Copies of this chain bind each other. A is one copy, B any other.
Amino acid sequence: MSFNKKKVSLIAEKACINEDEKTLISSFVEVCSFLSEFPDELSWRTSKVNPKKPDAATDEGLEMLANRYFEAYRRSDFPAEPSTIPDEMVSVIMENAYGYSAAECEKIKVEHQYSMCAENCVGNLLERYLDSQLRSSHWNWCCGEFVKAIDFLGKNDNGEWIALQIKNRDNSENSSSSAIRDGTRIQKWFRSFSKDTKKGRPSFTNWQKLPSLIQGYNLNEKEFKLFVSKYIKEEKKNLGK
């Protein structure tokens, strides 16, 4: 059965609620085209309430995928308010090991929570930034995390799939990246170094080592920083924070 791009586009369009989202339809279609070729690469957690995995070969499955895709795009990556209870033993160690006062530890405890919340968004913001620069290209964002270990999909000049896996840090946990068959290659890239292993490293970011296939789109740290500031400011306003 051949993949019907026109039909998938129409299903995607129904899942969109504004014009901006519609500029992602062609990316969604390509992602579904990939999944129709490699159904095992679908990553979908089932539950008792939702026991069914979507099948990209059926209209119902495509609707499920479209909803997940555009809902994830709409979801804000503004950092959450801390919701965990800090472990008091951390303060006990901070006081005795590093000499912070009890009052300092109280303040540090709260700021540490905010730092963790901020940290947790960087990976998503990095994907959003890359998509913002790549959307008009032949690269397709796998928004919604339903393609195993792949963040962007494209094709090379021979029409073979090329997959990109993006990490924010060189020490981010590896997702269980399954080996994809039949000539699909996964290229991996991380944005930042967590350790100063190389004496005199001029930069702790890794933009100069972007895979050659996504070079030429003016992707760099300075622009990423501007993107993040702008995104967070706008979301803060949108969310009424």
Interface residues of A (CB under 8 A from B): 78-79, 83-85, 87-90, 92-94, 96-98, 100, 108-109, 111-112, 114-116, 118-119, 121-122, 125, 168-169, 171, 192-196, 204, 224-225, 228-229, 232-233, 236, 241
Contacts and interface: CB of A to CB of B under 8 A. Distances in A.
B192 A87 contact: yes
B89 A224 contact: yes
Contact of A89 (B93, B112, B122): B122
A122 B90 contact: yes
B94 A115 contact: yes
Given A85-B204, A194-B85, A195-B83, A232 B118 contact: no
Given A92-B229, A92-B232, A93-B228, 20 more contacts: A79-B93, A79-B98, A85-B204, A87-B119, A87-B122, A87-B192, A88-B204, A89-B122, A89-B192, A89-B225, A94-B114, A94-B115, A94-B118, A96-B229, A96-B232, A97-B236, A98-B118, A100-B114, A109-B115, A111-B112
Contacts of A171: 84
A88 B221 CA distance: 10
16 contacts: A78-B97, A84-B171, A87-B122, A88-B204, A89-B224, A90-B119, A92-B225, A93-B121, A93-B122, A93-B125, A94-B114, A94-B115, A96-B229, A97-B241, A100-B111, A111-B112
A233 to B, nearest CB: 6
A42 B119 CA distance: 36
Q: Is the interface of A mostly helix, strand, loop or mixed?
A: helix
A122 B169 CA distance: 25
A220 to B, nearest CB: 13
A20 B179 CA distance: 50
B111 A93 contact: no
Contacts of A115: 90, 94, 108-109, 112, 115
Contact of A93 (B87, B97, B98, B232): B232
A233 B232 CA distance: 42
A96 B116 CA distance: 15
A85 B233 contact: no
A55 B94 CA distance: 41
Nearest to A94: B118
7 residue pairs, one from A and one from B, having the closest CB atoms: A96-B232, A93-B118, A112-B115, A108-B111, A84-B194, A90-B118, A89-B122
